[in-house]
A and B are shown apart, each in its own frame.
Chain A
Amino acid sequence: MMTTRAEKYLKTAKLPHIWCPGCGHGTAVNALLEAFERMGIDQDKVVIVSGIGCASRAVLYLNFDSMHTTHGRALAFATGVKLARPELKVVVLMGDGDGCAIGGNHFIHSARRDIDLTAIILNNSIYGMTGGQLSPTTPVGSSTATSPNGNLMRPFDICSLAKAAGATYVARSTTYHVAQLARYFQKAISHTGFSVVDVISQCPTTFGRRNDMADPVDMVEWERDNAIPLAKAQQLSPKELEGKIVVGEFVDGSQSNGNGRGDGPLP
């Protein structure tokens, strides 16, 4: 997308942003704006809610009604917004720690309710803003500021978690696969029900530097080289899938019960 097309979606006076050079979050936000542009959305009818962390900072630059809330609680705030004004589209931007560690309870219960929100998780496997600590999606073996000898514990698979908890649109892509990402965003936002897009993003500053990928290009190439489409992944053994990023639509959006639109009885 050309900068000129993006401008109307940005509070340009608030730029430059705080993200480091080479950060994946700007790429992901650009794909989100591309999705908005293709959808021809009414900017006054979209509310963007976020929590705390690098990913959540995005709302401060976006020219929409927005709430930059507390760490982990974005989905719960967004639930209130949606129920108060069901006609608004509510998009929730979170990081992996924000959305799935401190906010994990709200995440699974939003999925259970199938409430009509779009949860976008900018997943860089690290707590970037606080300087690179272990997150719930840090791969086994990765070095972080709080796992200096390598992470021993299994990470969450956000898409499996969302699917198991009842989300009715679930997809994953990466900041390398920008066109696919924008397409998934568009489908997620158009979907009525709880939609989740797990965006594999890169943090060269706090993750890459500790894991032999200090150059942002290394990290994007890691995304490119390890991404496997869902259909292909289904043919592979767990052993063969180790270290891979399975991209695709895990729940295709055809099964929402519509309970969470905000204008009917609630579960």
Chain B
Amino acid sequence: MTPSHKQRLVQGNEACVEGAITAGMRFYAGYPITPSTEIAELCSRKLPAVGGTFIQMEDEIGSIAAVLGASAAGMKAMTATSGPGFSLMQENIGYAAMAEIPCVIVNVQRQGPSTGVATAPAQGDVMQAIWGTHGDHPVVVLSPASVKEMYELTARAFNLAEQFRVPVVLLADEVIAHLRESVVLDRETLPFPIVQRKKPSVSPSQYLPFKADADGVPPMANLGDGYRSQFTGLVHDEAGFPSTRPEVVNSLIRRLHHKLEDNRQQIASFEAVHLDDAELVIVAYGSMARAAIAATRLAQERGLRLGVFRPVTLHPFPHEELVTAAARARAILVPEMNLGQLVLEVQRLTAGRCPVVGWSYVRGELPTPDLVLTQALRLLEAEEEYEDLLQLAALVRDDIVRPDWWLEQEWGA
């Protein structure tokens, strides 16, 4: 084995900060909360060295607000938090979506609800990350599964935020955030260039701050650039002035939605592991995907064909590829560290092409690959037994409503 001189041992939260700075983050506002705190601590040390600004705000509401103020004034800006703080941020995430202010929010998921277990991993914030703030709103949600991905996806989060003028949530979990891995992180190995926000090409007198280009995204003048920009969370016309006219409401809400939906192919991404010949597909994300991928290794040793479909973007979801995989598979297992959140999306998107069963693991720890494999085998057995898909669907529903259904029998959890 040849030692790699560029290889370093890096923690997930540290990789996140490095990815952010590589992407051009120069403003961080945050409030301490386990298990995301290392991100704030590192930003307070690293940002001044690159001419950036760090501020510890009085709460998470203030943190996201300061991030949006700084972004509107031209800075690439980020905050990081965990469940309780993410809940507090929801209203202003909606403001970011409505006023089209780019921002990156890192949520290192811990066991909830409420204070839960501060130091334990979970994946219970998937629905909140996608649908958390009120009203229909665009948001991109990314799910890192390794330290290297904490680096790359944080950088990509900034790219997406700046390109589409949307809030981007990096939905990490405690395992990945605190994990240290040997990695090579540098700008040269990033698989994409760094994106800067689109500036107006017209004079201030002709500038309409919310008139979109063909891609659905309006060019953005920063505060202080002389364009007399106006941001508001009210429904507004192309000039940024509030309006209650039905046609203005309709066109704004639809444009905000379509600027992501119409560019979904460009945004959505996933990883496929042994997917082509898999008779059973495991859809897993974040740290759970590591257990699922390891389960495919164990399965291979036993001559079983297991594959993993790992959505990297939880929203927008890479659904064409999932549908293709579902059409070939006998069944899909969706193991999650929650009571069944993304499984509902997988069921909706695959629309009965094959049985989709969730497995909930809510013990504040990552299940071992062996446990995931056991569930996969049980599902294959059940699929043979229940030829009638409706019967199996009932079983599936039951399992989601009472997610410990299998676990209790098998392990007395």
Q: What residues make up the interface of A, taking CB atoms closer than 8 Å to B?
A: 11, 14, 43-45, 47, 49, 52, 59-60, 63-70, 73, 76-85, 87-88, 105-106, 109, 262, 266
Contacts and interface: CB of A to CB of B under 8 A. Distances in A.
Interface in B49-85: 53-55, 57-59, 61-63, 65-75, 77
A43 B225 CA distance: 11
Contact of A266 (B55, B61, B62, B75): B55
A78 B69 contact: yes
A68 B233 contact: yes
Contacts of B61: 73, 76
A83 B65 contact: no
A-B pairs, top 3 by smallest CB distance, nearest first, are: A80-B69, A76-B65, A80-B66
B224 A65 contact: yes
Contact of B73 (A66, A84, A266): A84
A69 B70 contact: no
Interface residues of B, number: 41
Given A11-B241, A79-B29, A85-B223, 8 more contacts: A60-B230, A65-B229, A66-B228, A69-B95, A76-B57, A77-B69, A80-B70, A84-B71
Contact of A84 (B70, B95, B225): B70
B242 interface: yes
B226 interface: yes
Which has the most chain A C-beta neighbours within 10 Å: B63, B65, B70, B224?
B65
B231 interface: yes
Interface of B: 27, 29, 53-55, 57-59, 61-63, 65-75, 77, 91-92, 95, 99, 223-234, 241-242
A84 B75 contact: yes
Contacts of A78: 69
A84 B68 contact: no
Contacts of B242: 60
5 contacts: A49-B69, A65-B225, A65-B230, A79-B29, A106-B62
A262 B29 CA distance: 13
Contacts of A52: 233
A66 B62 contact: no
Contacts of A73: 61-62, 65, 92
Given A84-B53, A85-B74, A266-B54, A65 B69 contact: no
A169 B230 CA distance: 28
A203 to B, nearest CB: 21
Contacts of A14: 241
The winner among A14, A65, A84 for most chain B CB atoms within 10 A is: A84
A80 B232 contact: no
Contact of B69 (A67, A87, A266): A67
A60 B242 CA distance: 8
Given A60-B242, A68-B231, A106-B58, A88 B224 contact: yes
